[in-house]
Amino acid sequence: MADGAILAIDQGTTNSKAVLVSETGQILAKGSAPVGINYPNPGWVEQDADDLWTSSLAAIANCLAQQPDTAILAIGISNQRESVAAWNRSSGEPLAPVVTWQCRRTTNATLALKANGHERRVIEATGLPLDPLFPALKMRWLIDHVDPSLSSDLCLGTVDSWLIFRLTGGENFATDRSNASRTQLLNIATGDWDDDLCRLFDVPKALLPSLRDSSTVFGKTSGVPGLPDGIPIAAAIGDSHAALFGHSAFRPGDAKVTFGTGSSTMVNVPGFRVPEQGITTTIAWSIDGKITYALEGNILASASIFPWTAEMLGLGKDAVGHLLDLAKSVESSEGVYLVPAHVGLGAPYWRPEATGLITGLRFSTTPAHVARAAAESMALQVVNVLDNMACQIPMDIGSISVDGSPTGNSFLMQLVSDLLGRTIRIGNNSEVSALGAGALAGLAIGLWESQEEISRLWRESRIVKPGLTEADRQSLIAGWTQAVARCALVPDAKPKTSRPYRERQEDDCVTT
C-alpha cells in the first residue's frame, strides 16, 4: 500500500475540489465537480445544500480514483465563506436553500440596522461592517422562512459545518473560528458567540454550531459513500484564510493576494484591532486555543476586467491572451488609466456608486495603451489596499505571496511587483486553499509537528523582483489616484505618496 496522505476538500461557489496532499507537501491527485447556482429573484443567489454535498463526494471520488491505494490519514476542509445552510439536526434534511455570500436579499434589514445606529457597535465586536454579505441577517431570514412544522431541532451553519455534519453521519455540528468570525455573531476578541450580537440579529445561540479551533479533530467519518469510517476530520477553515495559511504567512506582516474575478488581500496581524473604514479584521485561524488575526481587503473587479476590455477593443471577450500581448507591446500606458469600477469600487474605498472610466486619452492613444492600462489596474488596486493596511499595523509588511490563475502570466506579475515596489512570491501550484486546509489537518494529527515544519514544505515556483524606478512608480500611482478620484468622487484628489512600507507615515493612508 502507498504511503498515507491528507484529503483536502475545497468547497467553492462554482465547484468542489478534492486534493490529496502527501507528507512531503506534494499534491498527489486532485478532482473537481461543478456546483449549481440559482437566481430566483433579482439580487437573490441560492444553492442547494444537497448539491454542495454530492458535488464534494464527486470531487473526492474523482481524486481518489487516481490514487486508489493511498490511505487517507485525515480530512481538511476549506470552504466558500458567508453562505448559510439550514437543516434538521435529527434527519439531516435541508430545510431551505443555501443563501450564498453573493445574495442581497437582506439589504433592507441591513439598512434598517444602519439607520438605527448599530454599525459601529458591530464593527467594534466583529471587525466587519453591516452589509448583506454577512450571514447573521441571512440566518434570521432563514428562521423566518423555514416551515414551522419542520423547524424543530433546526441547525444554522456555514458550509464547513454542513460538510462536517454530513461527513460524521450527523454526529457533529461544529464550525471553526475563521468561518464563525464572518457571521457577525462572533466576538472576535474573545472567540466566542456573542449574546448581545445574537440578540441584535435575533438569532438564538442554540441554533448555532459549537466552536472549535481550525486545526483540531471535529469528528470521524461515518457512512460516507466512497470513504471508510473512522477517518478524522481534522481541520476546517474559510477559503481565503486557508490560502493565507497555505502560503505559510505565519508571521505578523506576512501578506497574500489571491487574484481572480476579484482579489482578496490578507495580512497577518499581531492581534485584534478595530479596522479603519474600507478594511475588515477577521480571525485568520485558531490553533491550540490561540487566535491569529488578519486584515482583509476585497477588490471587486480584478482579472474580470480583461475579457471586458478585450471585447471593447474588438478582440473578442475570449482573447485575454491577445489583450495581454498587446499590453506588453508598449513600454507604458502613456498616461492612460482604466479604473474597473464597473460594479462600484471595493476596498479600500467602498464606493458602490462609482462607475468605471478610462482617462488620459489623446489622439496618440492606441488600443495597446488601453490594454496596458487594464493590466496595470489589477496591480494598482492592490497597491491601494496594501498601502491602507500598512497604515493600520505596527510593523512592516513582510513577505507578499500571490496565487490565482493570473499568476501564470509573467507580464502581469512583473507589473504587480513593479507597482508595489516589492518582491512577490508565486506559489508552485494553484490549489493553495486546499494546501492550507490539508496542512492544518496534518498538524492536528501530528503528521507535521509545527508551522515551521510546514513552511519548509512549500517551494515557490519563482520570485519576481521590481524593476521600475521609484520615480516612475510614484508617477503611475499619482495618476491612478487622480483617476480613482474622478470616478468615485473620493474627497481629496491630491495624489498620496506611496513610500516604502517601512517608512510609511499615518498621513499616507487612503481617506474616504
Same domain? 360 vs 480: yes
265: in domain: no
Residue 253 lies in a domain: no
- Are 438 and 388 part of one and the same domain? no
Give 122-148 pLDDT, tens digit per residue: 999 999 988 888 999 999 999 999 887
> In terms of Cα–Cα distance, which of 71, 75, 100, 73 is closest to 18?
75
Residue 506 sits at the vertex; the CA angle it makes with 394 and 421, to the nearest 5 degrees, is 75
> In 327-420, where do the E strands start and end?
337-339, 357-359, 400-403
**Count of C-beta atoms within a 10 Å radius of residue 503:** 8
CATH number assigned to the domain comprising residue 74: 3.30.420.40
Mean pLDDT is lowest, of 157-161, 188-192, 206-210, 316-320, for 316-320
Amino acid at 200: L
Whether 147 is in a domain gets the answer: yes
Q: Which residue has the cell 436553500?
A: 97
**CA-closest candidate to residue 476, choices 422, 415, 429, 393:** 415
Confidence of residue 84 (pLDDT cuts 50, 70, 90): very high
Does residue 75 sit in the same domain as residue 27? yes
Grid cell at residue 281: 479584521
pLDDT at 509 over 60: no
On whether residue 450 sits in a domain, the answer given is yes
Q: Is the same domain home to 122 and 238? A: yes
Report, as an integer, the average pLDDT of 475-481.
Answer: 95
Per the structure, the complete domain to which residue 14 belongs is given by: 5-247+428-455
How confident is residue 500, by pLDDT bands cut at 50, 70 and 90?
A: very low
Please indicate, yes or no, whether residues 442 and 487 belong to a single structural domain of this protein.
no
Mean pLDDT of 429-455: 92
SS (H, E, C) 281-326: EEEEEEECCEEEEEEEEEECCCCCHHHHHHHHCCCCCCCHHHHHHH
Judge whether residue 283 has pLDDT over 90. Answer: yes
Q: Are residues 158 and 49 in the same domain?
A: yes
> 442 vs 104, which has greater pLDDT?
442
Cell of 408: 501564470
167 and 212 belong to one structural domain: yes
Same-domain check for residues 372 and 238: no
**For cell 482579472, what's the residue?**
303
pLDDT at 246 over 50: yes
CB atoms within 10 A of CB 122: 23
Within-domain flag for 298? no
DSSP secondary structure string, 195-263?
A: HHHHHHHT--GGGSPEEE-SEEEEEE--S-TTS-TT-EEEEEEEHHHHHHHHTT--STT-EEEEESSSE
Confidence grade of residue 47 (pLDDT, cut at 50, 70, 90): very high
Tell me: do 308 and 218 sit in the same domain. Answer: no
**402, 428 contact by CB (below 8 A):** no
- Residue 86 confidence class, pLDDT cut points 50, 70, 90: very high
DSSP helix/strand/coil, 86: strand
Q: Alpha helices, DSSP H only, in 391-431?
A: 410-420
Domain count, the chain: 2
Residues 6+ apart with CB under 8 A from 54: none
Dump pLDDT digits (tens) for 364-390: 999 999 999 999 999 999 999 999 888
Nearest CA-CA partner of 239 in 41, 438, 67: 438
* Predicted confidence (pLDDT) at residue 255 exceeds the cutoff of 80: yes
Quickly tell me which residue has 483617476 as its cell.
Answer: 483
- Inside any domain, residue 286: no
